[in-house]
Amino acid sequence: MSNQEILDKLRDTIVNQDINGCAAATKEALGAGISAFDAINGGLSVGMKIVGDKFEAAELYLPQIMMSAKAMNAAMEVLTPELEKDQTDEGVGTAITFVQEGDIHDIGHRLVSTMLGANGFKIVDLGVDVPDNTILDEVKKLEGSKILLVGSALMTTSMLGQKDTVEALVEEKLRDSVKIMFGGAPVSDGWIAEIGADATAENAADAARVALQLMK
């Protein structure tokens, strides 16, 4: 089977909510010499995009989306140790990663956290549905070191919370202590400029590149 066929198989296991098949296809991809990074970008994420589009077109419903998400998680269990193997010890800074309050979508958040960890960031993962107070407490603990806030929001409602987070940092006089990268499907460059954050990124690989740039 060619590498493209294996990537297509990965994609299809996500679309078909095949949890065991997805884990097996992920192992097959690694066995064929496909990198964890290519498996995510060329196979799994392509599948999640199709699932998202089908959900929007009402061709799939929530229970099916949850099964696709589980398949993605099964693949990430296989891939995370691989991504961690590439981990550098450069100590570029601490990335405080979180999903905005009211939002439990964590697939992209976990991909981005893993990718930043593999690129030398120490990761403080606050998880999902994170209120501003928790973020501020963590920033206060780390004040004085190099800090990157990495927030995800997948819904237009939770995206609005990113503005509140920036305002809360300004109010607590912590804005200059951190760089801020926000992402998630609804986040645009225009929104980043409007709320006074520093950057966004299209995907996990882009997030690593942008994050390293911000820490310079």
Q: Applying CB under 6 A, which residues contact ligand HCB?
A: 45, 48, 51-52, 55-56, 62, 65-66, 69, 102-109, 111-112, 150, 152, 154-157, 181-186, 200-201, 203-204, 207
Measure the CA–CA gap between 181 and 188, rounded to whole angstroms: 11
Nearer to ligand HCB, 34 or 148 (CB): 148
Are the CB atoms for 95 and 119 separated by under 8 Å?
no
Nearest residue to 209 via CA among 82, 128, 97, 92? 92
The total number of residues written for the chain in this structure? 216
Are the CB atoms for 135 and 175 separated by under 8 Å?
no
Exposure on the CB side of residue 32, measured as CA atoms within 13 A: 17
Nearer to ligand HCB, 55 or 191 (CB): 55
Nearer to ligand HCB, 105 or 146 (CB): 105
Nearest-approach distance from CB 113 to ligand HCB, in angstroms: 9
Which residue lies nearest ligand HCB, judged by its C-beta?
Answer: 108
Nearest residue to 214 via CA among 190, 179, 186, 187? 179
Nearest-approach distance from CB 70 to ligand HCB, in angstroms: 8
Nearer to ligand HCB, 106 or 138 (CB): 106
Are the CB atoms for 95 and 67 separated by under 8 Å?
no
Nearest-approach distance from CB 160 to ligand HCB, in angstroms: 10
Nearest-approach distance from CB 183 to ligand HCB, in angstroms: 2
